[in-house]
Structure formats: structure tokens, C-alpha cells
Amino acid sequence: MRSHQVSSPTVRESTAYGRPNACNLCHLDQTLAWTAEKLHAWYNQPMADLPRDDQTISAAVQWILKGDAGQRVLMAWGFGWESAQEIAGRDWLYPYLIYSLTDPYAAVRFDAWKSLQTLPGFPNFSFNYTATDPVLSEAATRAYEKWLQGVRNPNAVYRPETLLDSNGRWRQDIFQRLRTERDDKRILLAE
């Protein structure tokens, strides 16, 4: 993560080095297995032998829940990118951005807040990304209730790769496991 180098997307870079690939930065709701299949079909890249999570859970969901701070901030920003929202849908993004309002890194919280403001119902949502933990938790609770009670589309259908059930709630067993796997090492991005 030390450069602005642009390279052709590969699943290998994502699995070996944790570098998010361009395919999954637009197709936020897709798995690394989906990306591997597309890259194999289109560019004859070798198929990767992927663990179950990479076959069943969106790469972006994994990066925002268990990635390091660099991956999490990139996903928090990417969830607000209009092109990605059009491709992957918007309804399922709310819980992840709201959850990220309590991230240990202020940069992740800031990008999650700015991305949340791009979604219907939240353009004027006030939030202090440098507040204390109790204030951050209160804001996240307020945002979640606002989404759940007034903004959430009751007819929305959530793809299983997003880990949301038919009510827009996390599949708790997998969500909790991924949260405990979060890479909390201290990170400094010099860019």
C-alpha cells in the first residue's frame, strides 16, 4: 500500500497480499471466487484455490469487517462511490457503514460517515468522527435505528454474499467471527 501503482486485477494479489482488486472495488457484493471466474474466462488467469469465505462472502464485506485499517478505509470510501453503488446496489451498504462509524481509526469513521451521507435518508446526518467511544456508539445506534425504522426498504432483497438476512440484519454467527478476525495492528499510511 505504499504506491499509487495501478495494475491489472488479480485474485492472487488480494489473497496473498491483502490488496483489494479493482473488480471487487466496483462489484462490492461479489466474492473473490466470482472475480477469479471472470478473470479466468476473460483473461485466462489461473483459477485460485480459495477458502470457503472467499467463495461465499463478498470480498468487500470481508475487507470492511476483518481487514486492516487500510483495507477498511478503502472499503468505507468505496461504499460511497456512486458507480459502485449502481453496480452492487445500495440497500445493503447501510449496516456496514453504520458499523464503521465506531471503527478504532478516525479515518475509517470519517469515510464511513461521508459515504453514509451519499445514501438516501442520510445526506444531512450529523456525526463527529473524533468523538469519544460512547458518543460514537450513540451516533451509530441513532443511525441504525433511523435506517431500520425509516429508510430501510422493507421489500429489499439481500444477496447471501452480503451476510444480511431478509430483514437486513447480519447473519450474527458469521458477522461475529469476521469481527474477531479483524486485523487491528497499528498501521501508518503515508499517502
The model's pLDDT over 48-81, given as tens digits with 9 standing for 90+, comes to 899 999 999 999 999 999 999 999 999 999 999 9
Asked if residue 145 is part of any domain, the answer here is yes
Identify whether 188 is part of a domain: no
Q: What angle do CA 62, 59, 177 make, to 5 degrees?
A: 25
In a domain, 137, yes or no: yes
Task: Inform me whether the pLDDT recorded for 110 exceeds 50.
Answer: yes
- Is the pLDDT confidence value at 130 over 90? yes
- For the cut 90, the answer to whether the pLDDT of residue 16 exceeds it is no
What are residue 164's DSSP bridge partners? 170
Report the domain count for the chain. 1
pLDDT of residue 5: 61
Where residue 170 falls among pLDDT bands split at 50, 70, 90?
very high
pLDDT at 6: 63
Task: Determine, yes or no, domain membership for 159.
Answer: yes
Distance CA 114, CA 97 (A): 9
- Residue 190, domain member (yes or no): no
Give residue 155's pLDDT band: very low, low, confident or very high (50, 70, 90): very high
Question: Cα-atom radius of gyration of the chain, to the nearest Å?
Answer: 16
Instruction: Evaluate if residue 153 carries a pLDDT over 60.
Output: yes
Whether residue 1 has pLDDT greater than 60: no
Query: Residue 189 falls within a domain, yes or no?
Result: no
Q: Does pLDDT of 10 surpass 80?
A: yes
| Distance from C-alpha of 14 to C-alpha of 21, rounded to nearest angstrom | 6
Share of the chain above pLDDT 70, in %: 95
Question: Would the pLDDT of 191 be above 80?
Answer: no
Assigned domain for 150 exists:
yes
- State how far the Cα of 110 lies from the Cα of 128, in Å rounded to an integer: 8
pLDDT for the residue 163: 97
Query: Diameter of the chain by CA atoms?
Result: 50
Q: Which domain holds residue 64?
A: 12-180
Task: Please name which of 33, 83, 40, 22 lies closest in space to residue 58, comparing C-alpha atoms.
Answer: 33
> pTM score, two decimals?
0.93
| 2 within some domain | no
